[in-house]
Amino acid sequence: MDIDQLLSELRTERDRVDQAIAALEALDNAPVPGMGRPKGGTSFEFGASKPTGRGPRRMSAAALRRIAEAMKKRWAARKASATAPRGKAAPKARGGKRRISAAGLKRISEAAKRRWAKVKVAKTPARRGMSAVARKRLSLLAKQRWAKRKQAQKA
């Protein structure tokens, strides 16, 4: 292959690459809708990180005033509906922590006692499930054993 032909092909290749780079740089510098321009210039060095995200959003003074007025109206309406009488007296404003009433505490306590009673019954040994006659017979046998032991100790 001829060196002159090779050089001309390389130059045309270089021109195409330069055109592609220029097009990409133009895209990089073009404003993107909803995005601010990159900070710190337009060219980036190799290995340097590109700025990401948006810059600060700025609103006009008129837009800020409109938003402020709308919020004031909303809060005024909310406050007016909160203070309006509802048929019965409005609740008293309380400061500090909310406390549970004595009746509420009693209900919670009773419910807890019922739950623990169920747990206790479930954990009881099988002997407690005996009939009254069987318990009485077992008690008599135990008394007889103790009586024998006492006699053995006296002798």
Tell me what the mean pLDDT of segment 108-119 comes to. Answer: 94
Q: How far apart are CA 13 and CA 3, in angstroms?
A: 15
Instruction: Please tell me the pTM assigned to this model.
Output: 0.23
- What share of the chain has pLDDT > 90, as a percent? 38
Which of 7-11, 34-38, 55-59, 140-144 is predicted least confidently?
34-38
Asked whether the beta carbons of 40 and 51 are under 8 A apart, the reply is yes
- What share of the chain has pLDDT > 70, as a percent? 74
Q: How far apart are CA 99 and CA 82, in angstroms?
A: 22
Locate the domains of the chain by residue range. 102-154
Instruction: Please report where in the chains the tokens 């318990």 appear, as a residue.
Output: 135
Exposure class string for 24-52: b at 16+ Cβ within 10 A, else e:
eeeeeeeeeeeeeeeeeeeeeeeeeeeee
67 CB-near residues (< 8 Å, 6+ apart): 59
pLDDT for 22 equals 87
